[in-house]
Copies of this chain bind each other. A is one copy, B any other.
Amino acid sequence: KYDELDTIIIGVVGGDGIGPAITNQAQRILAYLLSDEVNKGKVTFKVIDGLTIENRAEAGKAIPDDVLEELKACHVILKGPTTTPRKGDQWPNIESANVAMRKELDLFANVRPVKVPEQGIDWTFFRENTEGAYVLGSQGMNIDDDIAIDFKVITTGGAERIARAAFEFAKNNGKKKVTVVTKANVVKTTDGKFLEVCKAVGEEYEGIEVDDWYIDIMTAKLVDEKRRTGFEVMVLPNLYGDILTDEAAEFQGGVGTAGSANIGKQYAMFEAIHGSAPRMVDEGRDIYADPSSIIRAGGMLLNHIGYGKKADQLFKALEICAAEKKYVLTGRDTGATSEEYANYLMKTIEKL
């Protein structure tokens, strides 16, 4: 699909807090790896810097209209963390920009790989990304001062497309099992539907086992070295996906090191899964922010648009730097800045 385009437009969204600083480093790395393509005009970067909490607050919208237009003019997007306001904050009650972007661009599949080869962990999570507990955003209801309600919605179509994405991935990657994670024993109507649809889709895939567990038991299983083996592909409603992938990322070094792919029919967005760390900015430590998660997201982007070899180079170099430790920043100062880390990473790629 992307090789048919004259020019692939990569949108680069800095976001809030440490976002612009680390996203800038990720763009440098991508530009370095894609320098020939950029020179030939096959790839171009488009920096979109209007997705800040200030602009969003002023527009009273999770994504201001002009920013949304700019986003829609891109083919793929690399996105830094954005601050999510919540009740009691200084910001108005607007929805998370992540969540809004996933919905506006219909990025229904949140794909998060977690790999720890030495522990036999090779998981791919397919988190439904547009509905569930996230569907109505901030539009819950206050019946009166004392009764608050939120809604969770699962549609047949919504469950079906994420289930299909998971089973297709399993089929194309030689996986033997897809595990559906819900709380269908309690949240019966929506999770019951999700589970039912996943099982029905699974029946179309011969040779792939469909397994199911409750989210409470899954969070426990992942901690247990014995019981966590045997999982391959997991498919989950939105909020359980949010929870379980954060836990899972911990085994490979924390959310700071994990990237996340948000894939739809038309668009795709790649992001760091950590937050915007406003405290680091307040304390002037943002130049030390760890850019490895957003750089990893950049690698996933490369892979997605058809530059698998360059993506592999990048992942390899990230691994080498991680093993060498001295340049791995973990949000705590280690003496190296984000820029120094990116420089070192480029040198490492050069030497491959």
Q: Is A204 an interface residue (CB 8 A)?
A: no
- Which residue in B134, B150, B249 is a CB contact (below 8 Å) of A152? B150
- Which residue in B142, B154, B245, B251 is a CB contact (below 8 Å) of A148? B154
Q: Is A347 an interface residue (CB 8 A)?
A: no
Do residues B246 and A189 form an inter-chain contact, with CB atoms below 8 A? no
Jot down 12 A-B pairs with beta carbons below 8 A, ordered by A. Answer: A87-B188, A140-B187, A141-B189, A146-B155, A148-B189, A186-B242, A217-B255, A219-B219, A220-B249, A223-B223, A223-B250, A247-B247
A145 neighbours in B (Cβ, 8 Å): 156
* Docked CA distance A152–B246 (Å): 23
Interface residues on A, range: 35 or more
* Docked CA distance A149–B158 (Å): 13
Q: Is A323 an interface residue (CB 8 A)?
A: no
Do residues B88 and A196 form an inter-chain contact, with CB atoms below 8 A? yes
Which one of A84, A154, A190, A195 has the greatest number of beta carbons of chain B within 10 Å? A190
Do residues A186 and B84 form an inter-chain contact, with CB atoms below 8 A? yes
Q: Is A133 an interface residue (CB 8 A)?
A: yes
Q: Which residues of A contact B (CB under 8 A)?
A: 84-88, 93, 96, 99, 133-134, 137-138, 140-142, 145-157, 183-193, 195-196, 199, 215-217, 219-220, 222-224, 239, 242-247, 249-251, 254-255
- Given A149-B151, A187-B133, A220:B84 Cβ within 8 A: no
A184 neighbours in B (Cβ, 8 Å): 86-87
- Which residue in B149, B183, B216 is a CB contact (below 8 Å) of A190? B149
Closest to A159 in B: B148
A151 neighbours in B (Cβ, 8 Å): 149-152
Do residues B216 and A246 form an inter-chain contact, with CB atoms below 8 A? yes
A88 to chain B, nearest CB (A): 6
A286 to chain B, nearest CB (A): 20
A333 to chain B, nearest CB (A): 15
* Docked CA distance A255–B218 (Å): 12
Do residues B250 and A220 form an inter-chain contact, with CB atoms below 8 A? yes
* Docked CA distance A84–B182 (Å): 14
